[in-house]
Amino acid sequence: MEPFYVLISTFLQVLLILTCSVDASPTGYRHIANIKRSAAELAESYDYVIIGGGQSGLVVADRLSEDGTKTVLVVEYGDIDNNKDILLPSTGAASLGRDFFNFSTAVNYHLNNKTFAIQAAAVVGGGSAVNGMLLDRGAAEDYDNWEKLGNPGWGFEDLLPYFRKSTTLTLPNKELQQEFGIVEDESAYGDGPIYASYPPWQWPGTKAQVNAWKELGVKSPAKASSGDAVGVFWAPSALDPRTWTRSYAKTAYHDRAAPRDNYDLLTKHEVLTIKFTNSSTHDPLPNNSTSTLRATSITFRNRGTREVSTVSANKEIILAAGTFHSPIILQRSGVGHFPLIDRAKIPRVLEVPGVGVNLQDHAYMTRQYDYNTNVSPNPDMLDRSSPKFNQTFYDWAQAEYTNHQRGPLTVATANTAAFLSLNTAVANTDTITSSTSRARSQISLPGTYTTSLRIGFNMQESTVLSSLSSPASAALAIPFTGKSSSPLIMLKPLSRGTVSLDRAAPFETPPLVDFRTFYHPVDLQLFIEIFKFSRKWFEAPAHRKLGPVETAMQKNAVSDAQIELLLREKVLPSSGDAVGTCAMMPFNRGGVVGPDLRVYETMGLSIVDASIIPLIPGAHLGATVYAVAEKAADLIKARA
């Protein structure tokens, strides 16, 4: 009986997969039996229940289900997006309003009281489905700092195997390598499911931009991807080199897990709470301590019918709802800072003051220039909002991509960037990192900070200030592609924001997010200095050949006071890299999870997304989130 059953079921699976891949309709995936659309289709319990089918959630789901011995359920707020444009490198995030949550930041006092739309993905694949695909990694020092904050096993040497495990490298063709001087450290990659690739096209103007950095004395590291990420260098995109389309958590991890009988994905359902049982008879933890609280089930709501259901986990509930949503799911469950939970009239479960604080992101502004004598072709020719837009060239580029999978549309945001330590940009870094500024920082923290949070912040502040004085990690980044305007990104902020549930309607409203950009006085001072420094790049001889002209508004910002006014108007609080709201730190330093990623004082509950990152690294977050999630999966498997 059994072999026959297995045969039939394998046959059916193959048939289903074939049906799915042959059927190009946007609803084709629904034929795969284990994409669930309603609670009624689920089992009563799974070994692992993962909250959020975003970037980290899908990695962990794939790894926990791959040996077939454990059952895994992922509950995701969004849907699978099968539209082709999600895969196109050149359009990417811009066109995908449909795949984002719709909510805004609190008024930012230091950014002229403005509010900003928050960039958080609501789709299977999460941030990896909508991001700019740049797959850069931070410097070794960025990750060693995590370990220094009390997280043994989380330094760069510990993470490098997981950076490798998640990625496979494809170098650009020989001509491009030679023409543009692209160097990659092949030993920094493995045979993982995410394709790290260099597209077959780079814009010629990039060469002048690279040379301008060299004229300023900026070096190119040989091993940027294995920890030496300071200087001007190339970084791959998350691109499938067979088709030059987006390689992301859905295509790389979910698609290979989907046929497994022990893996289910429920879409279009919002997880509301985590439920705990409270008993003194739980099994001890691997470190031989016990807690009376064990996370045993979740409640979740159908976004259409609003029906609420429950599903339980035999082993662990794994939070992967991202930096904005993981903390509010804890708070809704009674885990967090009690005063906040009391005000929302939610029953107290566990006092963890670090839930929803310590929010960090990469604030940035666009350095706006025109190029009067740019080489042709250049990316401004494809930009409809640029006076240099060229319809003929645009049509050609579309045809190249559609008919031959090549040309400029294979390029995502960028593959080149300057990641600079502060001493490259500022002659005397001490003026910025001085003790005077430090003392003032105390007033910059949110009023809700408890003593343990303040102690934890002081540790972070010393760590960040010493990295700002160090040549071994970057303080600012300028990615560039030959376009006349480039973003100027601040990588090591000291300001700390908050995420909290709306006490008036905790189950109906999106998280309240306050980035508190520039609340720490060092941040504003630092941004003023890097703004001034960025001019030198445009003024370097190689760059002058492109005829750069600063737009009037930015050109007129000369004195520190004028620059400050400009920054308050032009800086954006987020590059989509938000981290830190369930930080991995010691409990008595404001941490939410320990180095085993388990929520303190609980059993059966861990967090695996960007919210656990205690200090934001000097890189975009995608590559780091893959590495963290791969390591998380190993930790969870090891204790099963």
Q: Is 278 in the site for ligand NAG (CB under 6 A)?
A: yes
**Residue type at 204?**
P
What's 96's DSSP letter? -
Segments in 258-357 forming alpha helices (H): 322-332, 338-343
Secondary structure (H, E, C), 214-279? HHCCCCCCCCHHHCCCCEEEECCEEEECCCCEECCHHHHHHHHHCCCCCEEEECCEEEEEEEEEEC
User: Which of 33-41, 133-141, 442-450, 532-540 is the region at the interface with ligand FAD (rule: CB under 6 A)?
Assistant: 133-141
Distance, CA of 242 to CA of 92 (rounded, Å) = 18
How is residue 435 written in tokens?
Answer: 């003790």
Which candidate, 123, 69, 20, places its Cα nearest to that of 263?
Answer: 69
**What's the closest the beta carbon of residue 408 comes to ligand NAG, in angstroms?**
11
Site string for ligand FAD, 34-73 (x = CB under 6 A): -----------------xxxxxx-----------------
HSE (CB half, 13 Å, CA atoms) of 50? Answer: 34
Provide long-range contacts, Cβ within 8 A and 24+ apart, for 594-599. Answer: 594/151, 595/151, 595/152, 595/153, 595/154, 596/286, 596/635, 596/639, 597/632, 597/635, 597/636, 598/285, 599/295, 599/330, 599/335, 599/352
State which of positions 77-106 bind ligand NAG (CB under 6 A): 97-98, 100-102
- The β-bridge relationship of strands 335-336 and 72-75 is unpaired
HSE (CB half, 13 Å, CA atoms) of 535? Answer: 15
Q: Identify whether the C-beta of residue 626 lies closer than 8 Å to the C-beta of residue 167.
A: yes
Site string for ligand FAD, 406-435 (x = CB under 6 A): -------x----------------------
- In this complex, which beta carbon is closest to ligand NAG, that of residue 68 or of residue 97? 97
CB atoms within 10 A of CB 318: 29
Which candidate, 424, 421, 371, places its Cα nearest to that of 215?
Answer: 424
549 annotated ligand-binding residue:
no
CA 326: distance to chain centroid? Answer: 14
Q: Which does 35 bind (CB under 5 to 8 A by kind): ligand NAG, ligand FAD, none?
A: none
Question: Which residue in 35, 235, 320, 605 binds ligand FAD (CB under 6 A)?
Answer: 320
Q: Is 377 in the site for ligand NAG (CB under 6 A)?
A: yes
Q: Is 74 in the site for ligand FAD (CB under 6 A)?
A: no
123 annotated ligand-binding residue:
yes
**What's the closest the beta carbon of residue 22 comes to ligand FAD, in angstroms?**
28
Distance, CA of 216 to CA of 421 (rounded, Å) = 13
Q: Is 392 in the site for ligand NAG (CB under 6 A)?
A: yes
Q: Is 122 in the site for ligand NAG (CB under 6 A)?
A: yes
Q: Is 528 in the site for ligand NAG (CB under 6 A)?
A: no
**What's the closest the beta carbon of residue 600 comes to ligand NAG, in angstroms?**
4
Q: Is the peptide bond before 353 cis (omega within 30 degrees of 0)?
A: no
Q: Which does 93 bind (CB under 5 to 8 A by kind): ligand NAG, ligand FAD, none?
A: ligand FAD
Q: Is 142 in the site for ligand FAD (CB under 6 A)?
A: no
Site string for ligand FAD, 587-626 (x = CB under 6 A): ----------------------xx---------xxxx-x-
What's 116's DSSP letter? -
Site string for ligand NAG, 312-351 (x = CB under 6 A): -------------------------------------x--
What is the three-class DSSP state of 384? coil
- The residues of the shown chain that bind ligand NAG, judged by CB under 6 A, are 97-98, 100-102, 109, 112-113, 122, 278, 280, 285, 287-289, 292, 349, 377, 390, 392-393, 594, 596, 598, 600-601
- The residues of the shown chain that bind ligand FAD, judged by CB under 6 A, are 51-56, 75-78, 93, 119-123, 126-128, 130-135, 270-271, 320-322, 325, 329, 413, 576-577, 609-610, 620-623, 625
Annotated binding-site ranges: 123, 271
Annotated binding-site ranges for FAD: 123, 271
